[in-house]
Structure 1
Amino acid sequence: MRKIALVFPGQGSQYSGMGKFLYENYPIAKKTFEEANIALGYDLTSLCFEGPDTELQKTEFTQPAILTCSIAAYRVYMQEFNISPHFMAGHSLGEITALTASGAIPFSAAVQIVSKRGHFMQEAAAVGIGTMSAVSRINPFDVERICNEVSTEKQFVTISNYNTPDQTVIAGHVGGVEAAERKLVELGADIIRLKVSAPFHCSLMNTAAFNLEQELMKMEYSDPEIPVIANHNALPYIGGSRIVQALTTQMTEPIKWNDTMQFLKNQGINIVVEVGPGTVLRNMMKRTLSDIQSFSFDKEEDWRELKNLLSSGQLVHPCFISRCLAIAVCTRNRNWNQDEYQRGVIEPYRRIQTMLAEIEQIEQTPTLEQKQAALDMLRLVFETKMTSIEEQQERFEQLFEETNSRDQFPDFQVNTLKQMIT
């Protein structure tokens, strides 16, 4: 059975010309842009299609532009495919887009909210005080540890985005971010300083969060018609009454996107469609959970492939090895010994990750021996991360159930747990 999730991009996905194809070919998309123009009181359509980039990059214009393009794409998706998703999620700004698409926030109100949100975020931190950097090729536990080590009251740095198992974003005062960058590079991290106008999703946004909360409290909200995953806890909203609190919290707390992807996987989602400009979320999903089929509605080739897939009913079945990797990543770590973590988590994880890549390259079905190697890796990760017996049992149950592989390992679970207890 196909289970679809739609995900909506955040700031950074914008580009001059976005949404123009939909505008010119679908009346419902054109109507969406016209609604935004009226709600905002300026020509957002021309800004999206023609720029200039200097204006499109300004946060107070970027956010309504991305939301409008994403809602236009969503309306075209529903018109063309008429298949409601099981879940929706959005990255940062995209969470508001998801709530809009789900019917919880009226579109005209949403574009006004995000315009003000962008203005508040820009005002909250004076230019040059804060910054953000993307950190790759290092696990988030090490990034968190380094941030804690170098932070001071006047020059702090923290994780603002947990994007993938090996990519996080840090934010804070310039001095704090630079200090963290130096130590992270020594550990082998790749660092890219982001071109942002303010440090988002950290305590430097406290004033912006307060101002946004005052605006949000002026509105009434409906319960989402489709479950929407919140950024701050990677769990579905429980009714519209939680919207103000969740969107306010999101301003100063990290985006838990990796946990969101894992949640969708655990719910049996097997198709994810990024609806809006760009391919950032599709690419993160492909790298993190390769057994989920991921598409970008902004790419013509993806659109054609998705249409063929939905008409044929063909789906990729959950891969045992990729599920072992996913569970290893999303299990909480309680062991801060760097040497033990390297030997018991990072090295075995990378071996199995390489093995899976080789299997996928030759389009081979994993053998029982290869599955056993992945299972052994997962056992070692649990032991190294000091995972409780109860959680291990729950994780193994989850693995065997989702991959329909109980019969292949009839004695593994009982024998393993007995050995651990004794």
Structure 2
Amino acid sequence: MRIGLLLSGQGAQKAGMGRDLYEQNAAYRAVVDQASDLIGYDFQQEILENDEKLAQTQYAQMAIYTMSMGIYAALDDQIKEQVVGAVGLSLGEYTALAIAGVLTFEQGFKILQDRGRFMQVASDATDSKMLVILDKDQDRILSLIHQAQLAGATIYPANFNTPKQLVIAGLAEDIDQFAENLQQEDIKVVPLAVSGAFHTPFMDSAAAELTPRLANEAMAPMNVPVYSNTTGAIFDDVKATLTTQIVSPTHFSDALLAMQAQGLDATLELGPDKTLTKFAKQILDKHVDRYTINDLASFQTVTDEIVGEENNGFKE
């Protein structure tokens, strides 16, 4: 089986995520404990169990990364050997790069600790937010965004997630007005649980700080292809692409289709929820199976299905 990994981005976090895995899986627990050692306090209790902190990007990024990396560490080697590519959404690209051997766990954690702080400062500088728009006519939505911009609204397309889902970001009052206008036209919108206007020019200051932060990081060659949200292709210049990513729209569909083009039998999402798996259902060919691991029960079920009953991959 040729498996493509999907690594969660922000908005997926929730208090208590991974608790059952932490309590009952030694490999998962070791990763979270490593995060505790790196940050200097109990990461499970102080971050992963804390709704207030998880609502802040400076903590959410480290939390989602740590959970996804913990799940990967717990997987049976028979599954890891079948991985042929990885796509992460936004911060999930750091997880994908760590899984691919480009970064160590510690590198990824510390970079995201700083990236989250840079983005939190940029977010706090303005009252901004993000909004999910659910509509199959994205050209129409983009036209409406352009019209709003011409009228003075500071809003931007931020995430092209699926052919039916576009996320926008901008000044809070402009986003609220745009949302109201869309609802009047019976277009469904959903506020996104993040603390800033990510992947837009609102993050220019964060990108300016991330560039020197990444400059001296040693990065190893990939041992599995990682597909970029920014370019829609396999990462080339990793550092430059990661910096550009903060201020540029993500194109998850393009990256996922590029991975499928290389041959794919299944996707496996590692993280707090099933968001990317739902995206994959809308994007990929119907023959591609979709799996998600976001807790102990799904870990055991998915591992049994992929590896078989003789070795369920549960490490203690």
User: TM-score, normalised on structure 2?
Assistant: 0.90
| Aligned with 1:293 (options 282, 289, 296) | 289
Q: Does 1:259 align with 2:288?
A: no
Question: How far 1:110 sits from its partner (Å)?
Answer: 1.0
| Aligned with 2:120 (options 99, 119, 122) | 122
Structure 1 alignment gaps of length 5 or more: 313-422
Question: How far 1:111 sits from its partner (Å)?
Answer: 0.8
Indicate the structure whose relative CO is greater, using CA pairs within 8 Å and at least 6 residues apart.
2
Q: Does 1:100 align with 2:98?
A: yes
* Runs of 4+ off more than 6 Å: none
Cα 1:309–1:74, aligned 2, differ >3 Å: closer, same or farther? Answer: closer
* 1:157-168 correspondence to structure 2 within 5 Å: 157-168=155-166
Question: How far 1:56 sits from its partner (Å)?
Answer: 2.4
Q: Does 1:83 align with 2:78?
A: no
Question: How far 1:172 sits from its partner (Å)?
Answer: 1.2
1:38 aligns to what? 37
Distance 1:119 1:152 in 2: 32
More strand as a share of residues: 2
Contact 1:157 1:173 in 2 (8 A): yes
Cα 1:123–1:267, aligned 2, differ >3 Å: closer, same or farther? Answer: same
Aligned with 1:6: secondary structure?
strand
Structure 2 alignment gaps of length 5 or more: 310-316
Q: Identity over the aligned pairs, expressed in percent?
A: 26
Question: How far 1:292 sits from its partner (Å)?
Answer: 1.7
Contact 1:152 1:176 in 2 (8 A): no
Distance 2:182 2:60 in 1: 31
Distance 2:303 2:13 in 1: 23
Cα 1:154–1:114, aligned 2, differ >3 Å: closer, same or farther? Answer: farther
Cα 1:311–1:134, aligned 2, differ >3 Å: closer, same or farther? Answer: same
2:197 aligns to what? 199
2:276 aligns to what? 281
Aligned with 1:170: secondary structure?
strand
Q: How large is the RMSD of aligned CA atoms in angstroms?
A: 2.2
Question: How far 1:303 sits from its partner (Å)?
Answer: 4.5
Distance 2:218 2:151 in 1: 38
Q: How many pairs are equivalent? A: 307
Give deviations 1:105-160, integer Å, cap 9, x for gaps: 11112111111111111111336521111000232222211111111596321110
Question: How far 1:194 sits from its partner (Å)?
Answer: 2.1
Q: Does 1:54 align with 2:49?
A: no
Distance 2:228 2:76 in 1: 22
Question: How far 1:211 sits from its partner (Å)?
Answer: 0.7
Distance 2:186 2:148 in 1: 17
Give deviations 1:181-233, integer Å, cap 9, x for gaps: 34433543201122321111101000011111121112111111110011101
Q: Does 1:66 align with 2:61?
A: no
* 1:373-388 correspondence to structure 2 within 5 Å: none
1:269 aligns to what? 264
Residues 99-108 or 17-26, more deviating: 17-26
Residues 165-174 or 178-187, more deviating: 178-187
Greater C-alpha radius of gyration: 1
1:113 aligns to what? 111
Cα 1:75–1:112, aligned 2, differ >3 Å: closer, same or farther? Answer: same
Distance 1:173 1:43 in 2: 35
| Residue type of the alignment partner of 1:3 | R
1:19 aligns to what? 18
1:134 aligns to what? 132
Distance 1:119 1:24 in 2: 29
Give deviations 1:350-374, integer Å, cap 9, x for gaps: xxxxxxxxxxxxxxxxxxxxxxxxx
Cα 1:232–1:185, aligned 2, differ >3 Å: closer, same or farther? Answer: same
Distance 2:290 2:13 in 1: 20
Aligned with 2:133: secondary structure?
strand
Contact 1:138 1:188 in 2 (8 A): no
Distance 1:292 1:306 in 2: 17
| Residue type of the alignment partner of 2:304 | K
1:366 aligns to what? none
Distance 2:245 2:33 in 1: 29
Distance 1:23 1:305 in 2: 18
User: TM-score, normalised on structure 1?
Assistant: 0.68
Aligned with 2:243: secondary structure?
helix
Distance 1:131 1:195 in 2: 9
1:307 aligns to what? 304
More helix as a share of residues: 1
| Residue type of the alignment partner of 1:5 | G
Cα 1:154–1:38, aligned 2, differ >3 Å: closer, same or farther? Answer: farther
